[in-house]
Structure 1
Amino acid sequence: MYANLWVLVALSIWWRRARQHFSIDAPRMAVRARLPWPWRAVVGVALLTIVAGMWWWGFDFGQIFGGFNRKDLETKLTTLETAEEQLRAEAVSLRIRSSELESELAMTRGARTTLSKQALELQNENSQLKEELVFLQKLVADSNKTVGLSIQRLAVERERDDAWRYSLLVVRGGNPVVDFDGQMVLQVAIAPPPGASAPFRQPSLTLPDDQPETAAALKLKFKYYQRVEGTFRVLPGAQLRSVTARAFESGQGSPRASRNLVFP
């Protein structure tokens, strides 16, 4: 019964609306002109801009509300980039400083090595001077007893494979009045290098005749004593048999003193 009643009510409402729509009491209709297409394009672009702005605004706010802030992140990135540049600059400065310290350390080590070498050389020279002082004191005491010229010491040692160094001391005893003026002459007997099969071309050497550049070192000009030192050249690997040193006075053909050194 109630179902039939509801059906009748619905039909009555529908009939009333349909009659109102098609009768003279229907709602008025308005006729409007359509917008030109340029205006419609402008309106469309404006709507799209508004929609995009609303979307971006909502996206930013959604990130902020969700705990993600783009501006804060950009600020942090800028801060990190600045800190990175500072660290890079500090790293470059530290590298330069490290290189400077390494150079200073190398210079310090080199200077220390040089100073140690010089100290050792000075120590050896000091010891040698002390020995020579004792020797000269004894020599002076003995020279007062012996009048004349003498060669008190003769030493020869290899300096390089093709060079030998000599050192000798010429002493004049008594109480001389004028300086002694003369020349030393060295006669060197040379042996071939061990194992040499070819004929040896340098069995002997006379200085300074065979090597004129040694004449200045062999010049004698002194009153009481003179140390004579120098080097002479030989064939590479050659050995010495003996060295004879003779002291000649200027204008004299016979030696005033001589000394011989034989090598084993």
Structure 2
Amino acid sequence: MWRRVKRRFGISAPRLAVRPHIPWYLRWSMTVPFLVASLGLAWWAYGSGLELAGFHRSEAQQELAQLREQVTSLSTENTQLHDQVAQYERQIQIEQASNQEVSRQLKVQADENVGLQEDLAFFQNLTATHGKEGELGVHRLRLEHDQMPGEYHLRMLLVRGGQRAKEFVGSYQLVATVLENGQRTTRMFPQEASGNAQFQLGFKYYQRIEQSIQLPPDAQLESVQVRIFEQGAREPKVRQSVNLS
């Protein structure tokens, strides 16, 4: 017992350190100003370093604002230019379509003028010759391929000679020679000589005929024979053939 007391309170007892108690808010009140000062010093050093390197924040912000304004202006200008280009393209398309229509009309008129000149020369030669009274003839017979596959176009001019010819009433029939699947066959348009009003004839001096022929796309038309029937007759009055040009 005595030894314990001696060891605790005697010379060999451990030393006791007495420290003053400092409240936490006093510790923070001394630490926070130091931290703020350190951060301010670091920020000042950073800004000074940027200025020494030639970088000024205010100037950079101004340049950035100017660049943004330029981008906005260029974007607006680009949109306007795009709209102008689209408008010009539409105008060009309209002008091209108008030019194509004018060219088509000019071509049609030129073809009509050529046809009228040919008709004039033909009728001048026809009046200069003396044929048999009431004689029927097929002139200017042409057979051409149309734009679509299997479509053909036939043109001809029927003329009666004489000054006092009576009106001719009848019909015509087209007999087409066709090469199909390696075999040569014939097709009639129409099947009956007087069975289609489209093939009826009625004229006194002349009549112009234009007729379309429709065949299968894989069929090849070689020639067409034109047969002219007078009303009530079973045999054709005139036969004339033409090859595909």
TM-score class normalised by the smaller sequence: 0.5 to 0.7
* Runs of 5+ unmatched residues, structure 1: 1-32
8 Å CA contact retained: 1:151, 1:168: no
CA distances 1:22-71 after superposition (whole Å, capped 9, x unpaired): xxxxxxxxxxx865211321342133224423543464456457643211
Contact 1:217/1:228, CA 8 A, preserved across alignment: no
Q: Distance in 1 between matches of 2:220 and 2:111?
A: 29
The partner residue of 2:199 within 198, 218, 239 is 218
TM-score (norm 1): 0.64
Task: Work out the CA distance in 2 between the residues paired with 1:220 and 1:168.
Answer: 13
RMSD over aligned CA atoms reads 3.8
Q: Distance in 1 between matches of 2:193 and 2:37?
A: 109
Q: Distance in 2 between the 1:114 and 1:125 partners?
A: 16
For the residue of structure 2 that corresponds to 1:174, the secondary structure is coil
Residue number in structure 2 paired with 1:227: 208
Distance 1:94 1:116 in 2: 32
Say yes or no: does 1:74 pair with 2:72: no
1:258 and 2:241 matched: no
Call closer, same or farther: CA 1:109–1:70 in 2, change over 3 Å. same
Q: State how 1:145-184 maps to structure 2 within 5 Å.
A: 147-148=133-134, 150-159=136-145, 162-172=150-160, 173-175=162-164, 180-184=168-172
Distance in 1 of aligned mates of 2:54 and 2:120: 95
CA distance in 1, matches of 2:49, 2:205: 111
Paired with 1:180 and 1:155, the residues of 2 have a C-alpha distance of 19
> Residue by residue, what CA displacement relative to the aligned partner does 1:78-104 show, whole Å, maximum 9, x if unpaired?
111221232233234334433443454
Where does residue 25 of structure 1 map in the other structure? none
- Residues 1-264 of structure 1 mapped to structure 2, 5 A cutoff: 35-57=22-44, 59-60=46-47, 63-64=50-51, 67-139=54-126, 147-148=133-134, 150-159=136-145, 162-172=150-160, 173-175=162-164, 180-186=168-174, 188=175, 190=177, 192=179, 196=182, 199-200=183-184, 202=185, 204-209=186-191, 215-234=196-215, 236-240=219-223, 243-249=225-231, 252-253=232-233, 257-261=237-241, 263=243
Q: Distance in 1 between matches of 2:145 and 2:56?
A: 84
Any conservation in 2 of the 1:162–1:233 contact (CA below 8 Å)? Answer: yes
Larger radius of gyration: 1
Distance 1:246 1:130, change over 3 A: same
Q: Which amino acid aligns with 2:81?
A: L
Structure 2 residue identity aligned to 1:72? E
Question: How many residues in Structure 1 have an aligned counterpart in Structure 2?
Answer: 220
Normalised by the size of structure 2, how large is the TM-score?
Answer: 0.68
Pick which of 83-92 and 252-261 moved more.
252-261
Q: Write the distance in 2 (CA, Å) between the matches of 1:175 and 1:108.
A: 54
Stretches of structure 2 lacking an aligned partner (at least 5 in a row): 1-19
Partner secondary structure for residue 155 of structure 2: strand
Once the two structures are superposed, what CA deviation does each residue of 1:118-143 show, in whole Å capped at 9, x if it has no partner? 32232122111221133235445668
2:169 and 2:202 in contact (8 A); partners too: yes
Tell me if the contact between 2:225 and 2:242 (Cα under 8 Å) persists in the aligned partners.
Answer: yes
